[in-house]
Amino acid sequence: MALDRLIITSLDGSRPEDDFSKSHWIDLSSWLETSRLEPPLKLIDQIRKRSDATEQEISASTDLAVRWLGPVAGGSTAARIMIWLRTFPLVSSALRAARVRPGTLGVGLVGAIALLANFTAIASWLEPNNSEVLDAVNQLEARFLELAKPAEADFLPDSALLNEEGVDEAARRIALANPDLYTQIDSEDPAAIFDTVASLAVQGEQQVAETWRDLGSLTYYSYPDRALEAFRKASSIDSRNYDTWMALIVLEQEQAGNLPSAIAAADSAVRTARTQAEKLRALQWIAELEMITGQTERAYNRYLNIVPLTEALLEIDPSNDNLNSDLADAYIGKAEAAFELGDLSGARRASLNAIELEARRLTERPSDFSAMAGLSSALMGLGELEMAEQDFTAAEIHFKRSLNLDDRIAEQDPDDIDYQRDIGTALEKYGGVLVQQEREEDALAALDRSLSISRKIYAEHSERALAQSDLAEALFHLGEAELVFGRSESAEAKFSEASIYLRQLRRDQPQDADWSRSLLLNQIRLAMASGKPEPCADAETIMTDLQHQSNLSDDDEILALLQYCTEQTASSR
């Protein structure tokens, strides 16, 4: 029984029947409980190091090394690469001992070529500081040089296939592609092996792009910069993939702070959409980005088109939950745009439409996280409108309902970052309305809890710009509340810490004027809390820089706060 069969058997919980499998089943099962990648690696190492390993065991291990390139790890490229690195010594000895048929040997050689040509860059990209990976790369190169000549003499009818235009490029694509491609090369005839390789050199483009997309998903939370690079690579290889562009919208905006690139990605998503519904989702992203960049009227007009088009799709397929969710999102976006344009009655109508739709979704699917999150977002939007109307009692009710829904979602999956972020946002809104009602203890408790959540997320995901900005925002909001309630010393500490993260974001994303604006507001608040002149001087410098990036003539909040610094400077003379 080959080791890949043993792994599958353990994954589905059944017990193997043959003696070889039984001898390793218990250890493998315990490994699988903690890791989906380590089991085959540890089992292979264990077998390889045993002096009494039977030919059956070595052959089975070789079978895993050559053909099973990581499916137990979800087929991710990182997993396949690590299995290749750890098993290459075993593959090498098996090749020399001719314990695998020529077809499998051809696959092993192609994989070796692929890794020699391309693995160094990929490995350093995935784990730049991992000495084990770098050592393995060096060993891999040396072992390939040992194998290349005899393998070429015995199994390659045309050595030109090893040149840069031939096998090298094809093998790279195969190594980066889905493991299922290897089964296409499972042939006894060396010429047929490389005919297949040559065809894949032409046809493998989509597989390579798909693998970069897999890497982007794999690294999104832990290494968002690498995820951004992966999706950019995928888009450069295959510019026709809608999902790639949708991922880039988020990463360009959140991680790179590059709004023009995010908008360009959204435009590409519109062009590559496979259905009208996908096109409308991409258009909603464009409208949201237009809101962020101050093109509110343009965004509002876009929502005026998106809403009826989505409603028309729902008339055709009224039970489609995705379309219902899309329509609710469009109502929420329309409400936000109407609110920014001063159309409070229009904003209220759109908010109530969104709430009605999301409430119906939740009634039909009472345990559906998406419906809960959608209703929470709609309630929060209505609460913000009521805050603007100074109806603090109604705003408190809707913010509290939003918070309760977010808490319900997070209880089911407490480790989900996005759910925790939603709670943090809801707490900030809820704490803000409590400040307006002068409920000091409750307000500070809510905002302090929001800060605790942001600190935890940042501690675990400090590479994410979003985690950094959330922490800065939570510090700022709590500092503002403490300043209102006369706790100046504590507020000063919050603003001082927030400035650290805001400066970093401003350095990392200089093209995003929002970070300069946020830092400017923070420094003025810091001046108010500390009574010191230095933060005001800093704010005035930031203001000068900011005027080159955006028009601040109608930014009432900034102009009013800068007046404080002007008065402070005059009084100190």
Domain region containing 555: 448-573
- Residue 367: predicted pLDDT: 85
CB 286 within 8 A of CB 263: yes
Q: What's CA 534's distance to the chain center, in Å?
A: 38
Structure tokens at 519: 């830092």
- C-alpha to C-alpha distances, 16 to 9, 21, 263, nearest whole angstrom: 7, 6, 54
**How far apart are alpha carbons 299 and 288 in whole angstroms?**
7
Work out the average pLDDT over 238-261: 88
Q: Is the pLDDT confidence value at 453 over 80?
A: yes
Query: What percent of the chain shows pLDDT beyond 90?
Result: 39
Q: Give the range among 260-274, 296-310, 369-383, 504-518 with minimum mean pLDDT.
A: 504-518
Spell out the residues 6+ positions from residue 214 whose beta carbon is closer than 8 angstroms to its own. Answer: 75, 76, 77
- Residue 177: predicted pLDDT: 47
In a domain, residue 298? The reply is no
Which pLDDT band holds residue 135 (cuts at 50, 70, 90)? Answer: low
**How far apart are alpha carbons 163 and 287 in whole angstroms?**
49
Which pLDDT band holds residue 262 (cuts at 50, 70, 90)? Answer: very high
Total structural domains in the chain? 2
- Residue 476: predicted pLDDT: 96
Q: Give the range among 24-33, 469-478, 508-517 with minimum mean pLDDT.
A: 24-33
Q: Is the pLDDT confidence value at 448 over 80?
A: yes
**How far apart are alpha carbons 565 and 536 in whole angstroms?**
6
Amino acid at 187: S
- Residue 414: predicted pLDDT: 82
- Residue 328: predicted pLDDT: 94
In a domain, residue 320? The reply is no
In a domain, residue 58? The reply is yes
Q: Is the pLDDT confidence value at 275 over 50?
A: yes
In a domain, residue 507? The reply is yes
CATH number of the domain that residue 486 is part of: 1.25.40.10
- pLDDT tens for 187-246 read 334 344 434 444 444 455 666 676 677 666 756 766 778 778 878 988 988 899 898 899
In a domain, residue 535? The reply is yes
Query: What percent of the chain shows pLDDT beyond 70?
Result: 59
Q: Is the pLDDT confidence value at 252 over 50?
A: yes
For residue 468, is it left (φ>0), alpha (ψ between -120 and 50) or beta?
alpha
DSSP secondary structure of 414-449: TT-HHHHHHHHHHHHHHHHHHHHTT-HHHHHHHHHH
Last residue of a domain, one of 209, 232, 262: 209
Work out the average pLDDT over 486-503: 95
Last residue of a domain, one of 156, 187, 209: 209
Is the full-model pTM beyond 0.85? no
Which pLDDT band holds residue 10 (cuts at 50, 70, 90)? Answer: very low
- Residue 234: predicted pLDDT: 82
Amino acid at 410: A
Q: Is the pLDDT confidence value at 364 over 60?
A: yes
Work out the average pLDDT over 23-50: 43
In a domain, residue 118? The reply is yes
Which one is predicted more confidently, 293 or 139?
293
- Residue 161: predicted pLDDT: 28
Q: Is the pLDDT confidence value at 425 over 90?
A: yes
Q: Is the pLDDT confidence value at 49 over 60?
A: no
**How far apart are alpha carbons 141 and 171 in whole angstroms?**
15
Last residue of a domain, one of 209, 238, 258: 209
- pLDDT tens for 466-475 read 899 999 999 9
In a domain, residue 199? The reply is yes
Average model confidence (pLDDT) for the chain? 71
In a domain, residue 126? The reply is yes
**How far apart are alpha carbons 384 and 395 in whole angstroms?**
7
